[in-house]
Amino acid sequence: MRNDAELLTIMFNGAGVRVQTLNLHHLELAKREPAFRASIESATWVTADGWPVRRAFNALGYRTERVTGYDFVSNLLNDGRTRSKALGLLGASPNVATRFKHLTDDLGIQLVYSDQRRREEWNVRSIVDELNRASVDILMVAVTPPWGDLIANEIFESGFQGNVIAVGGAIDIATGQQSKGPDFVGKFGLVWLYRMIREPKRLFARYIFRCLPVMILDVIPIEIGAKIKRRGKAVQVRVTAHTADKELA
């Protein structure tokens, strides 16, 4: 998935698609939880949600922009094509869900399904039946990883006929319940720092003790390896050209 526009096009035009956003937290969870890793690998499409993953993708030759759950929700709400689609929301708090319903109503968007029960109360088969009866085109799962991504995958694998994407806290931001932060925070790749300063008790251990090692041990080596490979190819080209010049002489 290369950019926001491509994601919207796929969600509008396709059917039976599951999109997986991918950031350092997802990578860390995938390393220690086989079921979570399998859910990522089975996704129809994957987006680079976060600059470290985007850099790793680009180093591997997959040219992509940063495509986040929040940007998707924001673009979805501001795209005229959304008025012809039926949306569903699974997760978020009741207060946030009510705000989101008011927001979609004001924009002339159909939010035809909304479920804010505790995840322990969810029955995937029943949820899928309700979603299909409501003819939901796009389901947004507003639950933090790993649970949001796992339930999104279960719903997708259990016969949901629409498209599904786990958006984490994007609905909270879209409704003003949480702050996205100043533009420069995203521009300089400091969203993680901004969020950690605002919620240190919840995020400090996650970012410093879990995500940072993934950055150091996995993402940076990918970038270094890609640079070495490119330099090796450049040297080989120069040697080949030099040899050819000698033969011609």
d(C-alpha 224, C-alpha 80), whole Å: 43
Share of the chain above pLDDT 90, in %: 78
Question: For the chain, how many structural domains are there in total?
Answer: 1
Measured distance CA(137)–CA(11) in Å, rounded = 8
Domain that holds residue 16: 4-178
Residue 196 lies in a domain: no
Q: What are 113's two structure tokens?
A: 């399904």
In a domain, 211, yes or no: no
Q: Is residue 224 part of a domain?
A: no
pLDDT tens-digit series, residues 97-151: 999 999 999 999 999 999 999 989 999 999 999 999 999 999 999 999 999 999 9
Residue 242 lies in a domain: no
Could you tell me the pLDDT band of residue 233, with boundaries at 50, 70 and 90? low
pLDDT given at position 235: 45
Structure confidence at residue 2 (pLDDT): 86
Whether residue 241 is contained in a domain is answered as no
pLDDT above 90 (res 212): yes
Strand partners, 88: 113, 139
Quick one: how far is CA 56 from the chain centroid? 15
Record the pTM.
Answer: 0.88
The answer as to whether 16 is a domain residue is yes
Residue 51 clears pLDDT 60, i.e. is over it: yes
Residue 188 neighbours by CB distance under 10 Å:
10
In a domain, 200, yes or no: no
CATH number at residue 82: 3.40.50.10660
- Of the candidates 88, 181, 164, the one whose C-alpha atom is nearest the C-alpha of residue 131 is 88
Q: Which residue has the tokens 């041990």?
A: 217
